Amino acid sequence: MTDAPSDPTAAPADVLADPTAALPHTVGGAPHTPPRGPFRAGDRVQLTGPKGKLTTLSLEVAGEYHTHRGVLRHDDVIGQPDGSVIRASTGDEYLALRPLLNDYVMSMPRGAAIVYPKDAAQIVAFADVFPGARVVEAGVGSGALSLFLLRAIGPTGQLQSFERREEFAAIARGNVGTFLGAVPDNWSVTVGDLVEELPDATEPQSIDRVVLDMLAPWECVDAAADALVPGGLVVCYVATVTQLSRTAEALRETGRFTDPQSSETLVRTWHVEGLAVRPDHRMVGHTGFLVTARRLADGVVLPNLKRRAGKVEFSDEDVEAWTPGAVGDRSASDKKLRKVARQAAAQARKVAAAEAGSAADGPAADPGSAANGPAAGDR
C-alpha cells in the first residue's frame, strides 16, 4: 500500500504556529519581473464582468468561478493569453487580465489598512527610492508599501521592515510571497519596536531612506537620523492633522533635518464617453499626509529662513484627542489577524507550488520565450 501524494499547498505540521515559516525564498534579491505568456494554474487573474465588476482569483485545474448568472471554468482561462475574453456557461463575456501591482494590493488579504497606490507612488517618488537603495520601513502593515519599495530598489537594494505585531508581519510575508512567487532575500521583517531594534540591525549612517508609517512617527525621528546617511531622506505617512503637526515639529526640533515639506494626494477620475466628459461622482479623497525631510551633515546648522509664524503650543492630551483610537477607528482582533495570515500564507504556497510544477514541466509551447514566465527565483 502506498501513501497518497501530499498536498503541496498544505502547511507542514511544524509551521502551524507560524503560517509563513515554510514560504519559499529567492536567492539574490526580489524577483521583480511579472509572469508573461499564457495563463497557468496558480496564476492570479483579474476578471472584468459584464457590468464592469472586478473579481480577482487564483487559477486551479478543474476550478470553477460561480456567479448568480452562471459558471466560468478555470480550465477555459488556463492556456489563454493575457488579455483574453472568456465566456461563462450563460454566454456572458469576462475580460481576463493578470492583475497589476496596484490591482493586487487593493484585493489582497489585509489585517491593517493599506497604503493606497496613490500614496505609495508618491512615497517612492518623493523619497527618491532608487535601484540599489538601502531602505528602512516601519511598520509593515499588510505589505502593500513593501511591494512598491521592493520593486523600486530592485534585486540589488535592501529593504528592512520593522513591525510591532507578529500577526501583521505574517500577513505581509504571505502577501509579498504571493505576488512575487517567493519571499525575496533582500527583504527582512523584524518584529519589534523600531527605536529598540534599528540600532542593532544597521550601522550608523548606513541607510539611504527611512519610511515611517505608524501612529507616532515623532518617537522614531532620532533613531531615523542616526541611521540615515547625510543627505538621506525620511518620509512619514500620517493620517490626521495633529499627527502631521507634531511630526513636522519633531523633525525641526532635532536640528538634524532640513525644513520638512508636507503634502497630500487626491485622485479624481473622469467619465469620458464622446462629448459626455465630467468628473466621476466618487473619488479617492484624503487617505494620509506625507512629511519629508533630508538629513543634514553632523554639526551643520540649518540657515535661518524667513520665519513662519510661531508654532502653536499643544499638549499630549491635544494629540491623543485626534489619534485613530480616540476618533473611533477599530483595529482587527487577534483572531481575525491569525485567519488572514493563514489565508495569505496558503495563497503564497499555492503560487510557489504552481511555479515549481511549471519549472518541472518545462517551458510552455509559446515561441519566443523567456516570455513564458520565469521560475520562482527569477520572476
Strands 289-294 and 261-264: antiparallel
**3-class secondary-structure state, position 291:** strand
Q: Answer yes or no: are the C-beta atoms of 90 and 74 closer than 8 Å.
A: no
- What are 302's three cell numbers? 540649518
Q: What residues have CB less than 8 Å from 363, skipping those under 6 apart? A: 369, 372
- Measured CA to CA, the distance from residue 50 to residue 327 in angstroms comes to 40
- Measured CA to CA, the distance from residue 193 to residue 54 in angstroms comes to 38
DSSP bridge pairs for 272? 277
pLDDT of residue 352: 76
Residue 47 CA to its chain's centroid (Å): 22
Q: Answer yes or no: are the C-beta atoms of 81 and 98 closer than 8 Å.
A: no
φ, ψ at 74 (rounded to 5°): -60, -35
- Each residue's pLDDT tens digit, 353-364: 777 776 666 554
126 to 27, 116, 139, 204: CA distances (angstroms):
30, 15, 19, 23
**Helical (H) or strand (E) element with 252:** helix 241-254
**3-class secondary-structure state, position 350:** helix
Model confidence at 285, in pLDDT bands (50, 70, 90)? confident
- Each residue's pLDDT tens digit, 322-366: 565 665 556 677 777 788 888 888 878 877 777 777 666 655 444
- Each residue's pLDDT tens digit, 54-96: 998 889 999 999 988 889 999 999 999 999 999 999 999 999 9
Question: Please, what is the average pLDDT of the chain?
Answer: 83
The secondary structure of residue 97, as a DSSP letter, is E
Taking each helix axis from N to C end, the angle separating 166-180 and 144-153, rounded to the nearest 10 degrees, works out to 50
- Measured CA to CA, the distance from residue 244 to residue 253 in angstroms comes to 14
pLDDT of residue 324: 57
Strands 64-67 and 70-73: antiparallel
- What is the total residue count of the chain? 379
97 to 36, 61, 88, 104, 312: CA distances (angstroms):
11, 18, 16, 12, 52
- Measured CA to CA, the distance from residue 254 to residue 202 in angstroms comes to 21
- Measured CA to CA, the distance from residue 239 to residue 289 in angstroms comes to 6
